[in-house]
Amino acid sequence: MQTDTHPLYLGADIGKDEVVVACSEGSFTPRTIANRRTSLLTFLVSLPPGSSIGMESTGSYHEVFATLAYKKGFRVYLLNPRDARHYAKGVGQRGKTDRVDAQLLARMVAQEHAQLHPWIPPTPEQRQFQRLLKRRAKLSAIRAALGLSLKDLSGFAAERKSLMTTVGRVIERIDERLATLINATQARREAFARLRGIPGVGPVIASGLLAALERLPYPDADAFVAFSGLDPRPDDSGHHRGRRRLSKRGPSELRRLLYLAAMAGARVKVWQPYYERYRAKGLSSTAALVVLARRIARTAWSLYAHKTTFTPERQAMPLT
């Protein structure tokens, strides 16, 4: 590869077995590298210091390359695949191959890096936390689907019960592992207890909130709401005021948990006035629950950031 002394902007299309890398400056032709630690390290040591690498989030396939690049001092951008698709349409990309995608990601990082957030790798405990929560959500969905699909099927009551029991036991084991992670440190244990103090927030929701709040340093509550994807997206032009829609930019599981917290919270004394106020304004029940979910998200950030406990009196203040 041609040697450069100035930092480069690179894009990497990640596959299970191979990584295709391209450079926005054209300092080297796109190349294919085995998605193996040794091959990736050999490539990384040939790059100029201060280079930036953009790659899409692809399950777990990107983790080795992203982690190695971060440890080598490079700036890593973990890009949303949906954003990359929109960017490709915006610049008029006419085809899609691994090489073209790598070139597009390199271009995106070179042109938009000032607006992107560098990736911060999770700790091993944080990664385990996230994986356990994702698996639990998947198993819960599978258990619900199995229960519905076999409910009215005669002659399979024993099999249905056995399946439900087996899946339930796996979920219980995941809950035990989550509890072990939470109780591993006093700070995490205390933060979990503070989050559990929010009306409508049960142990599973508190675990999800804790995992998200611990993952990144959010400067304020609005940043945490934006991370969750519950922030309303304007659609205005001139005198036209379009309908606000959620950005849905963050993890869907976090949004689901906050929505469940709002559903439970709408029935308790502390949160019910918020829900009823927005219903009285003409919002649908779903929209009012989303507003309440944002309120709970802001409250969770405040309790976590300031290490305070939930106080109903503060929540009873009039809405502005």
Q: Kindly state whether residues 207 and 177 are assigned to the same domain.
A: no
pLDDT at 4: 56
Is it the case that residue 319 has pLDDT exceeding 50? no
Q: Kindly state whether residues 142 and 102 are assigned to the same domain.
A: no
Bigger pLDDT: 60 or 145? Answer: 145
Any domain includes 2: no
- If you average pLDDT over every residue of the chain, what do you get? 91
Is it the case that residue 3 has pLDDT exceeding 70? no
Q: Kindly state whether residues 60 and 165 are assigned to the same domain.
A: no
Is it the case that residue 40 has pLDDT exceeding 50? yes
Q: Kindly state whether residues 227 and 307 are assigned to the same domain.
A: yes
Q: What span, in angstroms and rounded, lies between the C-alpha atoms of 196 and 250?
A: 22
| 122-142 per-position pLDDT tens digit | 999 999 999 999 999 999 999
Any domain includes 214: yes
Question: Is 232 in contact with 245 (CB distance < 8 Å)?
Answer: yes
Is it the case that residue 218 has pLDDT exceeding 90? yes
Q: Kindly state whether residues 100 and 127 are assigned to the same domain.
A: no
Is it the case that residue 302 has pLDDT exceeding 90? yes
Q: Kindly state whether residues 157 and 191 are assigned to the same domain.
A: no
Last residue of one domain, picked from the residues 184, 206, 233: 184
Any domain includes 274: yes
pLDDT at 250: 83
Reading the block at residue 234, the tokens are 């304007």
Any domain includes 96: yes
Q: Kindly state whether residues 82 and 140 are assigned to the same domain.
A: no
Any domain includes 3: no
pLDDT at 220: 95
Is it the case that residue 113 has pLDDT exceeding 50? yes
Reading the block at residue 37, the tokens are 């630690």
| 75-87 per-position pLDDT tens digit | 999 998 888 998 9
Any domain includes 133: yes
pLDDT at 320: 42
Is it the case that residue 318 has pLDDT exceeding 60? no
pLDDT at 2: 47
pTM: 0.85
Q: Kindly state whether residues 222 and 297 are assigned to the same domain.
A: yes
Last residue of one domain, picked from the residues 69, 84, 115: 115
The residue ranges of DSSP E strands in 15-158, in sequence order, are 18-23, 31-34, 52-56, 75-79
pLDDT at 58: 76
Which residue range(s) make up the domain with 65? Answer: 9-115
Q: Kindly state whether residues 318 and 248 are assigned to the same domain.
A: yes
| 169-210 per-position pLDDT tens digit | 999 999 999 999 999 999 999 999 999 999 999 999 999 999
Question: Is 74 in contact with 52 (CB distance < 8 Å)?
Answer: yes
Q: Kindly state whether residues 13 and 78 are assigned to the same domain.
A: yes
Q: Kindly state whether residues 154 and 192 are assigned to the same domain.
A: no
What's the structural domain count of the chain? 3
CB contact burial 23-48 (16+ within 10 A = b; e otherwise): bbeebbebebbebeeeebbebbeebe
Last residue of one domain, picked from the residues 57, 83, 115: 115
Any domain includes 319: yes
